[in-house]
Amino acid sequence: MSRYNFKQTEEKWQKAWEDRQSFAVHVDPEKPKYYVLEMFPYPSGRIHMGHVRNYTLGDLVARYKRARGFNVLHPMGWDAFGLPAENAAIENKTHPALWTRQNIETMRQQLKTMGLSYDWNRELATCEPDYYRHEQKMFLDFLEEGLVYRKESWVNWDPVENTVLANEQVIDGKGWRSGAPVEKRQLSQWFLKITAFADDLLEELKSLERWPDRVRLMQENWIGRSEGAYMNFALKERDDSLQVFTTRHDTIFGASFCAIAASHPLAQELAGKDPDLADFIAECNRMGTSEADIETAEKKGFDTGLKALHMFQEGRELPVYVANFVLMEYGTGAIFGCPAHDQRDLDFARKYGLDVIPVVAPKDVDPKTFEVGDEAFIDEGLHINSDFLDGLNVEDGKAAASDGLEAISAGERAITYRLRDWGVSRQRYWGCPIPVIHCGDCGVVPVPETDLPVTLPDDVTLDEPGNPLDRHPTWKRVNCPRCDKPAERETDTFDTFFESSWYFARFCSPQAETALDRQAVDYWMPVDQYIGGIEHAVLHLLYSRFFTRALKQCGYLGVKEPFAGLMTQGMICHETYRDENGAWLYPDDIDFSGAGHPVHAETGKPVTVGRSEKMSKSRRNVVDPEAIIDQYGADTARLFMLSDSPPDRDLDWTDAGIDGAWRYVSRLWRMIDARLGRLPPPGTPRPDGGLSEAGDQLHRALHRTIANVSGDLDRFHFNKAVARIRELTNLIDELDGALGGVESDGWVLRESLEVVVRLAGPMMPHLAEELWQALGHQVLLVDTAWPEAEAALLVEETMTVAVQVNGKLRGTVELPKDAAENEAREAALALPRVSQALDGKEPRKVIVVPNRIINVVV
């Protein structure tokens, strides 16, 4: 018996699809379109298993929709700007552009061995001027629309490298490479007004029904809309006032202090005269900026000596602190503290000996004796000790407090967001230059459209401190487009999220002279199914939603939501291995052949096997896709990616699993190869004679499988779809011996084998194409429609109904479909095991759920 040669077969069909341009697509208003997109990769060097999973999922969807008659757009490109290119350039003495382009070459070749149904004619790389010139134009359009502004903002500054650090480059408060303590600095940076769309971005989440709930929830939390009030406290012995934002203005009578952020202008002003305060502010600035750092740090404050005057109580004064848990970026950078009803305020008050006055008490408690201990009372209740708010519940109290504030002009209702504007300036080389010029006389001047693109210089030095573009001897020196006097280019580049915020639209017309061809984007957009990692749940997806709105406002396209459907895939995990010294080992270094514990292949020393964790280079628990594809073939790798775990869950990579997938690939090939001689020719109409019992059983099963697999694929239950196909394979094997009694059985056998091949097509495209040809078809499988299930064959004539006594299973009965209740009851009570369980007692009640279950209650 011959064996399946995956290598030859996979190359053969990849070439055939390419020669025929099977996956090249064009706008065709006559056909329904379907745009499926996987998140494009950063060209880091080689593909990893995460890519293999992502692109397998996307390819399955693309091929399935194609078979279902959609005009499918399925493109691929490269998210090619980014910091790793600069790091690699320094380490390997190469150039970021060269490094990136070489990586793209390698990775494209690797992807091509997977047999993915991309329209490669649409490939793009964001680092090419032909791509980024369009986003420079977009930026200028946004500027005109008032969606862009410049402001001072805080950054992590490495004083040795003279560079801004990303949060992940700050380790224990020190620069990752220099080890120098990181400082906070203010830089003037460009911002995009994402907050202008905050409400719409929040509101429209509801319309994204084909997004996972948890992603929508994460975005909702990120936007963080809160309804509350601004309140203005007059300051004792000063002319100005302190504005705070609060969502609990109803608790104003329980206020015992105010607190401002370390970077609040008032704090800055006071620090000028108070060295101790300046020290405290410096200490706050050394603290991490993330919310987690702030929330878990000890609550500390510094009493400024200022007193805020209570707007409703003459003579009542609240001390003003600078506190490390108040963020300048949120609300107004100032709060009032009501310790009785906020845990953080309570901790703070206990620490500094401030009053704790309860102003809301639970309904069933005597207000006179109600006290707050170590736990703030944040639940619903009625107001006490609160003057005109007494007796009101929380909601009414807020409304009344707002009215009271507005009546005396001491505040107003307000809505704030946690969402902040998007800072897009980066002090790096390998990014898209921001197309503006700074002129001493004219200020900020946009680069004229005719001068676009502003391209990066090639001759830069990266291994010195500071911003390479700023350091370049000539690049930034230009004349002002307005007054022609010597001026300087902006030397910052865009955040790389900029490129990924519109690439999906560019794929609709990747060669167009303008950024977007309206006819093409109007036809293809939005993306029908977007697939990628959950790690992009907030930033990339939110920026893209914003960007699409901004582009719509500028007339680039007509939709505001870029991604109608979203699927987030889980991570790939693998066991971890360490040697005696605790050093991580690669899976390839381990020898499992011995009877005892695994040992190091070279040294023979024992190895500790750790639990399965996300594949990562640092833990060395990685498996190289190229090696797997070389050893088992792309179809086997793809099948394994789809088999065991649902797409959104983590997947454990195991040798046993990939072996199992390979066994099925060869089994399917053998199964069909061995039967080719017994089949009627392709396209033979169904013979007139009836089927044998086995033939009928197989016939029904294959149509049930079509229905189930189609349903599973529609709902992205790919692991179940694989299981259904395997079940049908098992059944064909099982019934094979009983077939052949009548002429129609041969026809059913061919139908069954063809259905298995067609259903497996999107999963194992090369094998399926090969078998389709072996079965005698001239038209390629990729050009063949998806099979349809015959509804009549899905209806069962009899049903197996479970019989319970007091909820415990005692047997089953075969009943005609939709049998009458009486009939069902009789059949159930007639079961010996039922009467045995009844033990002579009369049933009190018999519950009959048609076609499902009968429960006898005693």
Partner RNA sequence: GCCCCUGUGGCGGAAUUGGUAGACGCGCUGGAUUCAAAAUCCAGUUCUCGCAAGGGAGUGGGAGUUCGAUUCUCCCCGGGGGCACCA
State which of positions 272-301 bind RNA (CB under 7 A). 289-292, 295-296
Kindly tell me which of 217 and 483 has the beta carbon lying closer to RNA.
217
Q: Residues 14, 71, 136, 169: which binds RNA (CB under 7 A)? A: 169
Does the protein bind RNA through residue 722 (CB under 7 A)? yes
Residue 714: exposure state from Cβ atoms within 10 A (0-12, 13-18, ≥19) = exposed
Does residue number 829 form part of the binding site for RNA (CB under 7 A)?
A: no
Site string for RNA, 727-766 (x = CB under 7 A): x--x--xx--------------------------------
Contacts with RNA, 195-214, as mask; x by CB under 7 A: ------------------xx
- Is 667 among the residues that bind RNA (CB under 7 A)? yes
Q: Which of 675, 726 has the CB closer to RNA?
A: 726
**Contact with RNA (CB under 7 A) among 536, 549, 699, 758:** 536
Stretch that binds RNA, among 309-317, 392-400, 653-661, 767-775 (CB under 7 A): 653-661
221-250 mask for RNA (x: CB under 7 A)? Answer: xx-x--------------------------
Report the SS3 class of residue 174: strand
Under rule CB under 7 A, residue 808 binds RNA: yes
Q: Report the site for RNA in 115-154 (rule: CB under 7 A).
A: 153
Beta strands per DSSP E along 127-262: 148-158, 163-165, 170-171, 174-175, 183-192, 225-235, 241-246, 257-260
Residue whose C-alpha is closest to residue 523's, from 2, 26, 21, 18: 26
- Counting contacts by CB under 7 A, is residue 663 touching RNA? yes
Distances (CA, A) of 638 to 22, 111, 529, 701: 20, 12, 19, 25
Residue found under tokens 């600095």: 185
Distances 410 to 307, 401, 786 between C-alpha atoms, Å: 16, 11, 68
- Sign (positive or negative) of CA dihedral 588, 590, 591, 596: negative
Query: Considering beta carbons, is residue 234 or 671 the nearer one to RNA?
Result: 671
Task: List the one residue from 466, 800, 830, 841 that touches RNA (CB under 7 A).
Answer: 800
Q: Which of 28, 199, 395, 652 binds RNA (CB under 7 A)?
A: 652
By the rule CB under 7 A, 833 interacts with RNA: yes
Instruction: Give the C-alpha separation, 373 to 483, whole Å.
Output: 68
For position 845 contacting RNA by CB under 7 A, the verdict is yes
Closest to RNA by CB, 312 or 497: 497
345 binds RNA (CB under 7 A): no
The residue among 460 and 478 lying less far from RNA, judged by its C-beta, is: 460
Q: What is the chain's Cα-based Rg?
A: 34
Q: What is d(CA 338, CA 358) in angstroms, rounded to the nearest whole number?
A: 9
Mapping DSSP to helix (H, G, I), strand (E, B) and coil, where does residue 585 land? strand
CA distances from 182 to 64, 191, 327, 457, 743 (A): 52, 23, 19, 30, 82
> Toward RNA, which CB reaches closer, 280 or 422?
422
Stretch that binds RNA, among 202-210, 579-587, 690-698, 850-858 (CB under 7 A): 850-858
Q: Give the binding range for RNA (CB under 7 A) out of 199-207, 453-461, 465-473, 658-666.
A: 658-666
Q: Work out the burial of residue 302: count CB atoms within 10 Å of its CB; fewer than 13 is exposed, 13-18 middle, 19 or more buried.
A: buried
The structure tokens listed for 639 are: 């099948």
Among the residue ranges 117-125, 250-258, 439-447, 833-841, the one whose residues contact RNA (CB under 7 A): 833-841
Q: Does the footprint of RNA cover residue 795 (CB under 7 A)?
A: no
Q: Is 114 in the site for RNA (CB under 7 A)?
A: no
Q: Does 188 bind RNA (CB under 7 A)?
A: no
Query: Using CB under 7 A, which residues numbered 80 to 109 contact RNA?
Result: 82-84
Stretch binding RNA (CB under 7 A), from 348-356, 575-583, 712-720, 783-791: 712-720
62 within 8 A of 68, measured Cβ to Cβ: no
Q: What are the C-alpha distances in Å from 381 to residues 253, 339, 344, 362, 384?
A: 15, 16, 20, 4, 9
Closest contact distance (angstroms) between CB of 701 and RNA is 12
Interatomic CA distance for residues 124 and 80, integer angstroms: 9
Among 708, 710, 744, 752, which residue interacts with RNA (rule: CB under 7 A)? 708
Restricted to residues 427-486, the positions that interact with RNA (CB under 7 A) are none
Cis, peptide link before residue 319, omega less than 30° from 0: no
Smallest separation, CB 833 to RNA (Å): 5
Q: Which residues between 14 and 73 bind RNA (CB under 7 A)?
A: 42
Per-residue binding string, RNA, 489-528, x by CB under 7 A, is ------xxx--x----------------------------
385 touches RNA by CB under 7 A:
no
To which H or E segment does residue 572 belong? strand 572-578
- Per-residue interface string for the shown chain with RNA, residues 540-579, x marking contact by CB under 7 A: ----------------------------------------
Q: How many residues bind RNA (CB under 7 A)?
A: 95
Residue from the set 46, 597, 817, 852 that interacts with RNA by CB under 7 A? 852
Please, what is the minimum distance in Å from the beta carbon of residue 807 to RNA? Answer: 3
Distance (Å, rounded) from C-alpha 414 to C-alpha 406?
Answer: 11
Whether 350 and 342 have beta carbons less than 8 Å apart is answered as no
3-state class of 195 per DSSP? helix
CA 19, distance to chain mean position in Å, is 35
Q: Which residues contact 364 (CB under 8 A, 6 or more apart)?
A: none
Asked if 794 is part of the footprint of RNA (rule: CB under 7 A), the reply reads: no
The answer to whether the CB of 264 falls within 8 A of the CB of 331 is no
**What per-residue string of b and e applies to 178-212 under the rule 16 or more CB within 10 Å gives b?**
beeebebeeeebbbbbbbbbbeebbeebeebeebe
